[in-house]
Structure 1
Amino acid sequence: MTKLILIALATLVIGLIAGVLIGRSGQSTSLRQRRLEQQIDELRSEYTRYQAQVNEHFMESAHMMRRLNDVYRDVSQHMARGANRLCHDEDWLGELDEKDDTARLDSQKDSGFEPPRDYAPKSDPKEKGTLAEDYGLKEKNKA
C-alpha cells in the first residue's frame, strides 16, 4: 500500500512538472505571436508612411517640371517677340535660320557614335569576322 501511495505521489509530481512546462511553452508561444503581430503592424505603418512620401515626392516633382516648362515657354516667347520687334533685317533672320539648320545637321553627323566594327584580322575579305556567329569554328569535312 505504501508503494501505491509513493507511485501516486511520484505520478502527481511528474504531472505537475509536465503541466508547468507545457503551460510555460504555451505562454511563450502566445507572447512570441503578440510580438510578431506588433512588428508586422509597425512594418505596415512604416510602409504606408513610405508610400505617402514617395507619392508626395513625385507630385512635387511633376509640379516643378510643369513650372519649369512654363518658364521655358515664357522665355522662348519673350526671345521670339524681341527678335521680331528688334530685328527688322529679313536677310539677317534668314541667314540666322540657315546657320541654325546647318549647325543642327552638323551636330547630327558628328555625334561620336558609330556602328560596331569587325576588327578580326583577315587575309581574305571573304573570311568571317569576329562578329560572325560561326567565327573560329572549323567546318567538319563530310566524307
Structure 2
Amino acid sequence: MEQSFTAWLLPALALIAGVGIGFLLARLLPGTAPTQVQHQLDEMQERFEAYQSEVVSHFNTSASLMQKVAQNYQDIQDHLAEGANRLALDELSRQRLLAALSDSAQPARERISSPASTEPPKDYAPGSSGALSDEEVLKKA
C-alpha cells in the first residue's frame, strides 16, 4: 500500500508544482500580465472620456456661436429699422423701407406646385413637326 501511495503522491506533487510554476511564469512574462491589460483598458477608457468631453465642448461652442450669429442678425435688423425711421424723408418711404425689412427678415418659401397636365412633354412646338415626329417618317417611307 505504501508503494501505491508513493506512486500517486509523486505525480500529484509534480502537478501542483507545475501549476504553481506555470502561474508564476504567466505573471512574469511581458504582454500576458493582467496589470498590463488593465493598464491598456484604463488608458482606452480615459481616451474615450476625453473624446466625449471634446464632443460636448464642440457642440457647446457651436451653440454659443449660433446664438451670437442670431443676435448679430437681430442687431443688424434693428439698426436698419432705426435707420429707416430716422433717415427716411417722408412717411411713404419709411413705410416702404420698413416693409422691405420685415419681408427680408422672414424669407418667403415658395411651394412647388404639381403640373396642370400629366401629359409627357412633346419634342416639338405645337403647330410644327419635330425631329421625332411620326409625320416625317411616314412621308419619307
TM-score by length of 2: 0.52
Distance 1:94 1:79, change over 3 A: closer
Note if 1:22 corresponds to 2:19. Answer: yes
Structure 1: which 5+ residue stretches go unaligned?
120-143
Question: Which ranges of structure 2 fall in alignment gaps of 5 or more residues?
Answer: 119-141
In the superposition, relative to structure 1, how do residues 95 and 84 fare at CA in structure 2: closer, same or farther (>3 Å)? closer
Q: Which amino acid aligns with 1:88?
A: L
Q: How far is 1:65 from its partner?
A: 1.8
Whole-angstrom CA distance in 1 between matches of 2:96 and 2:81: 16
How far residue 60 of structure 1 moved from its aligned partner, in angstroms, is 1.4
Distance 1:113 1:55, change over 3 A: farther
- Deviations for 1:7-57, whole angstroms, at most 9, x for unmatched residues? 837852x3344124322554548x554344323322321222122212221
Partner of 1:8: 6
Q: Which residue of 2 aligns with 1:62?
A: 63
Match of 1:49 in 2: 50
- TM value normalised by structure 1: 0.51
Does 1 or 2 have the higher relative contact order (CA < 8 Å, sep 6+)? 2
